[in-house]
Chain A
């Protein structure tokens, strides 16, 4: 007997592609928010597939804090050229220069909090009415109820009462003038699914995800890379050492924690994730700063 079987990764892929096409069809001026992390890389990869052989019918927007690992930027430009997408950059530095936001002071200053303003300004400037995000429901408890199509009011805010039930594969993206949607095609993926799919599809990733040697210091229980953008407190300086590390999420260089790891290949990483005793967020301290690292910006209205 012939059996019709679709593996879990292919089902997730099919679902995400369906959501991406609904997204393109239901909104007038859509955009994909590209953070440079693995989730948004997978999302952009799927968008490439969804509209192939045409180019994807929306641009990518990167909210750039200016505090980047150079590996991230090199990767970004090459990847975007490879998938033949268009890139817009919304710059936090520009928001600072224009006086839209004020740069924090002190050794633990971070631009994370400022990104929301840059993002919302960027959306408004281009009159985008819907934005794709790489959020997954398994990331944290609070996200478990997030919709694929998440409604935002005119101020970009999320009102739990205004969220629409989602049945079967019917999505309701109707909205009043000035309202927005955030759309999450990876809602049903777990961290493990993402890694397995990257392996299955052979998707290139920034080298930061793989084990390498780097000078890091400890801040509030998290390993932070020494970069030009960050100054260390005296006791932090003492903890500075070369270590073999990798990053589980990638974002602003000043607040994305590294983990000690020797996982140098995708298979190693998959094994590491399978054996992991900590959630992705677990390698960050409870400190507010690290909670809001690049991929978790939604807390402040980013997602």
Chain B
């Protein structure tokens, strides 16, 4: 029967991969897909053919994800590519982002939805500037799990000391980062397959999990905020039908906390309080709702509520303010951040105008030093600014909640998304 089918009980894990050019990122992804049997014959045939054409000795697994590679060679805009694979335990979504400094923007984008980041280090090179940058971005975007893969162990004779030295270097650096919850180190050879899906026979000194086993089992159940109840209203459902004549449902995705029928709630900005009558997912009535569920909530009393409003609990409310302090990453290659410039700001389901009040500092993402003498924000710059919005935002710090603490800035004239922001 279908109930016995494992897929009805699988989790979802989203991760990003970062590494500098030639650290073996494409090979690693190809290896993961191949060894976990997520590659189709026709895809493999195509890769075999092009490997031969290039004169490679063995099948070049890096070519499985060669979309980015081709672009890199042609110098076209490089972008985040999403890839998918599954094992009986979990479905995986990989946000594959190129690691070069110019692509900070893409790394930030890929990291924004990730539960976990894989950072690749070439065992011959150890921790380099780019490793620090990748770790910084992962921590800035509050990725709670970092997996450091020390790759090309075959080229350092599978040497434990080399591995331990790199682990220590990384730990020394990571101690300066704020938010990382968990760091795991794995010595691998993406090329030969050691410790990717199958356990290495060359490194008996390593007792830990293989990369795939770690990805399958890492506990992500407590990553989302289940404390502060937040429900940004996305759409109001009014059927106007005979059967559901008085139905007035507030549709949205739970951004934090837990909602239950009977809970006392307050609607912002009006501040009126009432109780939850029911929580629907189509015909099904739910006994509770939490992130990332999409549901429709009905209330006991008729309270004027529309898109952009937020349903919360009376004793646990978000900040309601117009002055915002945030870390931003600048995304536009054609325009710089304008002091006193006006932008459109999107936050949860709300859209407001925002004016830049102050640029506090930029961060040198290789050294983590503050830059206070050059405050011009261009493509890929990261730093701290103050904004004032045209009406109050209902927000939490990004640190507490990724959904209610994040926003984007949009250029009023071109409609381009020019910055990503994380509220402090």
Which partner residue on chain A sits nearest B283 by CB separation? A52
Contact A164 B416 (CB under 8 A): yes
Q: Is A91 an interface residue (CB 8 A)?
A: no
CA distance A187 to B113 in the complex (A): 14
Q: Is B377 an interface residue (CB 8 A)?
A: no
Interfacial chain A residues near B247, Cβ < 8 Å: 53-54
Contact B7 A196 (CB under 8 A): yes
Contact B415 A167 (CB under 8 A): no
A1-32 with Cβ < 8 A to chain B: 3-15, 17-18, 21-22, 24-25
Interfacial chain A residues near B417, Cβ < 8 Å: 164-165, 172
As a 0/1 sequence over residues 159 to 190 of chain A, the CB contacts with chain B under 8 angstroms (1 = contact) are 01101111111101011100000000001101
Contact B90 A8 (CB under 8 A): yes
Q: Is A237 an interface residue (CB 8 A)?
A: no
Contact B82 A144 (CB under 8 A): yes
Contact B234 A22 (CB under 8 A): yes
Which partner residue on chain A sits nearest B90 by CB separation? A8
Interfacial chain B residues near A174, Cβ < 8 Å: 344, 410, 415
Q: Is A215 an interface residue (CB 8 A)?
A: no
Which partner residue on chain B sits nearest A200 by CB separation? B8
Which partner residue on chain B sits nearest A164 by CB separation? B417
Contact A48 B282 (CB under 8 A): yes
Number of residues on chain A facing chain B (CB within 8 A): 63
Q: Is A192 an interface residue (CB 8 A)?
A: yes
As a 0/1 sequence over residues 241 to 279 of chain B, the CB contacts with chain A under 8 angstroms (1 = contact) are 101100101011100001000000000000000000000
Contact A17 B294 (CB under 8 A): yes
Would you call the interface of chain B mostly helix, strand, loop, or mixed? mixed
CA distance A167 to B291 in the complex (A): 17
CA distance A141 to B81 in the complex (A): 9
Q: Is A267 an interface residue (CB 8 A)?
A: yes
Q: Is B216 an interface residue (CB 8 A)?
A: no
Knowing A14-B294, A168-B403, A278-B40 are in contact, say whether A25-B235 is a contact too (CB < 8 A): yes
Contact A24 B235 (CB under 8 A): yes
Contact A54 B240 (CB under 8 A): yes
CA distance A17 to B143 in the complex (A): 25
Q: Is B77 an interface residue (CB 8 A)?
A: yes
Contact B40 A279 (CB under 8 A): yes
CA distance A200 to B284 in the complex (A): 14
* A190 to B: closest C-beta gap in Å: 5
Interfacial chain B residues near A22, Cβ < 8 Å: 234, 349
Contact B41 A277 (CB under 8 A): yes
Q: Which of B104-112, B121-129, B207-215, B313-321 contacts A (4 or more CB under 8 A)?
A: B104-112
* B227 to A: closest C-beta gap in Å: 11
Contact A145 B82 (CB under 8 A): yes
Interfacial chain A residues near B2, Cβ < 8 Å: 199-200, 267
* A263 to B: closest C-beta gap in Å: 15
Contact B221 A5 (CB under 8 A): yes
Knowing A176-B415, A187-B82 are in contact, say whether A25-B11 is a contact too (CB < 8 A): no
B386-424 with Cβ < 8 A to chain A: 402-403, 406-408, 410, 415-417, 420
As a 0/1 sequence over residues 57 to 87 of chain B, the CB contacts with chain A under 8 angstroms (1 = contact) are 0000000001100000000110111111010
CA distance A46 to B67 in the complex (A): 31
A169, A199, A278 — which one has the most chain B CB atoms within 10 A of its CB?
A169
* B256 to A: closest C-beta gap in Å: 11
Contact B12 A12 (CB under 8 A): yes
Q: Is A229 an interface residue (CB 8 A)?
A: no
Contact B234 A170 (CB under 8 A): no
Knowing A8-B91, A12-B12, A145-B82 are in contact, say whether A167-B420 is a contact too (CB < 8 A): yes
Interfacial chain B residues near A193, Cβ < 8 Å: 91
Which partner residue on chain A sits nearest B402 by CB separation? A168
Contact A4 B226 (CB under 8 A): yes
CA distance A196 to B41 in the complex (A): 22
User: Can you sample 29 A-B contacts with CB below 8 Å?
Assistant: A4-B258, A6-B12, A7-B12, A8-B86, A17-B253, A21-B251, A22-B349, A49-B281, A52-B282, A53-B241, A53-B247, A54-B241, A145-B79, A145-B80, A160-B79, A165-B420, A167-B112, A167-B406, A167-B408, A169-B253, A169-B403, A170-B347, A172-B408, A172-B415, A172-B417, A176-B415, A187-B82, A270-B7, A277-B40
